[in-house]
Amino acid sequence: MPQRDLVSWYPKDVLCFCVNTKSLVQTQQLHALAIIHGLLPTSTSISAALILRYAAFSSNSRIVQMMFNQSLPFLRSAFLDNTLIRARTMMGVADVHIFTFDVYNGMLGSGVVPHDHTFPFVLKLCTDYTEIKKGLEVHGMLMKLGFDYDVFVNNTLLLFYGSFGDLAGARTVFNEMPKRDLVSWNSVIRVFSDSKCYFEAIGVIKEMFLWSEFKPNVVSVVSVLPVCAVLEDEIMVSEIHCYGIKVGLDCQVSTGNAFVDAYGKCLNVESSRRVFDEMVERNVVSWNAMIGTFAHNGFNNHALESFRWCSPTSLNIPRAVWNQPLTRGGSPQPKCAARVGVSESDTPQDI
């Protein structure tokens, strides 16, 4: 009976070791071990794991490219190309979008079909680097290959169109999605909100309440409340608040902060203060929102009092927060200023 080698005894363990190496030296040792026992360059999964570990511990891109090239004769797959793109991104390669586009074009030229992890990454780079023409090209290709039915791909595509202000394109992608998830709804709300199309953003959240199988979550609420605040739509804020209480979102610090701020900008100081008082946990944003509410509505004494309450705490409060109650009628308040080391001669712009 032939003696079993490391490959037949521990195929999964070798891959596990690759994923869990803690240093460059360990990665190099495991790389050598894999070569000795015939695992490389034939095992694409182990090659991919080692590529990512080298990227994590080294800035030498040559070893990463070498391992990729050695694996190509055995199996050229989208998985391996995606791994190379991810590794080069981790290493902080200059002009990573150009490199990614070259890899993507090489995949297509070699007959390798990109999969659902390829398109979102390429589209995100198109978004980050405003490569509109390339993004439109990628959109055409993913439709040709049938990935326009993939919710993850569509969510990234929606943000791509929204990033350069093509709201009609973003809305078309959203409307034609055969399947949506919470990210889809939150993404389209974000697109309209970022583009200052506030009424459209409100329309989407209402549509979400009425027709979607997914109901607003923390991200949805925190995204739409600033829109309500800009429009001073207190009724919508109250409706969302009732919903948040019903489903337990009001217990979240982030939603509590958003409600305090939204009520304050809708000139409802009483509701803003009630939400603040009922918060189980507060952070610097909570105090900032409450102080800002008082200052926005002309309750300067209340703003200063809140300031005095929060200032002795261990909160790491930035100067932008202190600046709100430090001015009343355009003049700095010297007693408060002294407590944070701000000179009486400093102007609000200096603080």
Eight-state DSSP code of residue 112: P
Question: What's the CA gap between 143 and 154, in Å, rounded?
Answer: 10
Question: What's the CA gap between 349 and 278, in Å, rounded?
Answer: 34
Predicted confidence at residue 73, as pLDDT, reads 74
Question: What's the CA gap between 32 and 168, in Å, rounded?
Answer: 54
Predicted confidence at residue 345, as pLDDT, reads 41
What average pLDDT does the segment 20-35 reach?
A: 88
Q: Which two tokens stand for residue 199?
A: 């009424």
Q: 287-296, 298-307, 323-332: which range is least confident on average?
A: 323-332
The whole-chain average pLDDT of the chain stands at 84
**Above pLDDT 90, what percent of the chain?**
53
Rounded (10°) angle between helices 284-296 and 300-310: 160
- Residue 110: pLDDT above 60? yes
Predicted TM-score (pTM) of this structure = 0.79
DSSP H stretches of helix in 164-233? 167-175, 182-194, 198-211, 218-231
Query: What residues does 332 pair with on adjacent strands?
Result: 327
Question: What's the CA gap between 9 and 166, in Å, rounded?
Answer: 55
Question: What's the CA gap between 53 and 71, in Å, rounded?
Answer: 16
Q: 156-160, 232-236, 297-301, 339-343: which range is least confident on average?
A: 339-343
- Residue 332: pLDDT above 60? no
Predicted confidence at residue 95, as pLDDT, reads 77
Can you list the positions of beta strands (E) in 50-159?
none
What's phi and psi for 342, nearest 5 deg? -100, 130
Q: Is 296 in contact with 324 (CB distance < 8 Å)?
A: no
Q: Which residues contact 236 (CB under 8 A, 6 or more apart)?
A: 202, 228
What pLDDT band is residue 316 in, cutting at 50, 70 and 90? low
User: Taking the mean position of all CA atoms in its chain, how far away is CA 176?
Assistant: 24
Query: What residues does 331 pair with on adjacent strands?
Result: 328
What pLDDT band is residue 42 in, cutting at 50, 70 and 90? confident
Q: Is 212 in contact with 182 (CB distance < 8 Å)?
A: no
Q: What is the pLDDT of residues 334-350, one digit of tens each?
A: 444 444 444 444 433 33
Q: Which amino acid is at 62?
A: R
